[in-house]
Structure 1
Amino acid sequence: MSVDDRPRVLKHQVVRGKLDALLDGLSAGDAVPSERVLAERYDVARETVRQAMRELLVAGRIERRGRTTVVATPKVVLPLAMGSYTEAALEMGLRATRILVDWTAMTADEELAGVLNVTVGAPVVQLERVFTTDGLRVGLETTRLPADRYPGLRETFDHRSSLYAELRSRGVEFHRAVDSIETTLPDAREAALLTADTRTPMFLLNRVSYDRDDIPIEQRRSLYRGDRMTFTAVMTAHSSDRS
């Protein structure tokens, strides 16, 4: 490789390296110096510092608290699985709960009827909740379920607990799920509910779960903060793939 072929190291990347070292010497919750102070310390433009800080924010190393920037706690790492993220977080020793945003009674349009395998106009219940771990709002989940299949759900279900556990207690057995995952940015309402900035990158997970008879159980739209969440997946090769 010639000298000209070598990747350029941009100014903000150099500053980010210095900021990484600075953060290594601080504890979660400690205040980070302002952009002005850092620009003077490293003799660079404030925009250069701003770019480096933006990368650190996305990486989950820092977080905004009003006008203050502080060292963030480590990201929440959860398995990308068919089960409940509340249950998974609790198993990892995290404090996890849900904050109720709204229950909504609605009717299925043609598209939703096809997804949930119900007739057009069938009653659907929509549950919207914020997912928290250790007091931090990390996800916004909207679940739509056929109302006739889960009578009295709104009256009996404790919204702070696992919806999957509630459905299992009603005899529903989760068998498979079809997920699509992409990245997105939140709108103003979503950002407010997650106490995040509208520039915060998000994981958007759309899921349809099915029981053993291949009947849809739920349609779920989940928005998770990319600066606070990491998902892992374990893949196992089938015997036919090992040759």
Structure 2
Amino acid sequence: MSAVVREGRTLKHQIVRRQVEDLLDLLAVGDHVPSERHLATRFDVARETVRQALRELLVDGRIERRGRSTIVAGPKIVQRLMIGSYAEAAHLEGRTAERVPVTWTDLVADHELAGRLGLEAGDPVLELECVLVTDGVHVGLERTHLPAQRFPYLLRTLDPASSPYSAIRACGVTFTRAVERIETTLPDAREAALLDADTRTPMLLLERISYDENDAPIEHRRSLYRGDRMSFVTTMTP
């Protein structure tokens, strides 16, 4: 019996989703989407059914939440995964990209971060946090950790708004490989505010450790991307 109920509910929200998509096709990017209550009345369904349909449309990037409002979204930004900075990857796709500095901090490595960077707990670490902006949209929040002893002059020479990869390469360091882990998550209140989103917006969390030619860790990077605005592609060969 429960399986039949679940199948019926799924079918109903899929029908509502198609109806909402037809409505979105009549609107322009940036237009406000009618409220859950209005859509539930219009399609004669429960609000939870509408909410489920809107949730899927949000993940697919058809709609976007702005504060308490929901608007029609533009196409998702598709970007290649590569060893290099976010801005470099965006420029390869012909997009504008900038980094807006948030914090530039001296830290002391805890055991977890020390293990990632090949350091001892208590060693100094540089942390750079930036909002990533593509085509005028806040799409990501990037936090980079670097061994301070390896890059003693970086704090004085690096422009936080520029790519740290270029500055690191200028120090004679060569990136040879990176290990990246991708998960889904939700932002906390601070992260959502920095990304012009809300705490219900699905996020893609990318954690990367990059290595040099001697297989020594160069950086640990945590990047949080808006799942409603970004998707990633990569090419794999045998």
TM-score between both structures, scaled by the size of structure 2: 0.90
1:74-98: CA deviation from partner (whole Å, max 9, x where unpaired): 1111112222121111222222111
Identify the residue that residue 180 of structure 2 maps to in structure 1.
179
Q: How many Å separate the matches in 2 of 1:47 and 1:113?
A: 46
Encode CA deviations 1:164-203: one digit per residue, 9 max, x unaligned: 1221122111000111111111122222222222122211
Q: Which runs of 5+ in 1 are unaligned?
A: 238-243
1:1-243 counterparts in 2 under 5 A? 8=8, 9-237=10-238
The number of aligned residues is 232
For 2:52 and 2:110, how far apart are their aligned partners in 1?
44
What is the alpha-carbon root mean square deviation over aligned residues?
1.7
Tell me if structure 1 keeps the 8 A contact 2:66–2:197: no
TM-score normalised over the length of structure 1 = 0.88
Counterpart code for 1:53: L
* C-alpha distance in 1 between matches for 2:58 and 2:112: 37
Q: CA-to-partner distance for each residue in 1:4-58, whole Å, 9 max, x for gaps?
A: 8xx6552221110011122223221122222233223222223322221121112
Q: Structure 2: how far apart are the matches of 1:155 and 1:33?
A: 50
Amino acid at match of 2:48: E
Amino acid in the other structure paired with 1:235: M
Q: Deviation per CA, 1:109-165: give whole Å up to 9, x if none.
A: 333223212333221111111111112111111111011221232222122221112
What is the CA deviation profile of residues 183-234 of structure 1, one whole-angstrom value per residue up to 9, with x for unaligned ones? 1111222222222221222111111100111111001111111111101111
Supply the AA of the counterpart residue of 1:74. P
Identity across the alignment (%):
62
Letter in 2 for 1:70: I
CA distance in 1, matches of 2:66, 2:186: 19
Aligned AA (2:77): V
Residue 231 of structure 2 aligns to a residue whose secondary structure is strand
Tell me the amino acid that sits aligned with residue 74 of structure 2.
T
- Distance (whole Å) between structure 2 residues aligned to residue 112 and residue 36 of structure 1: 47
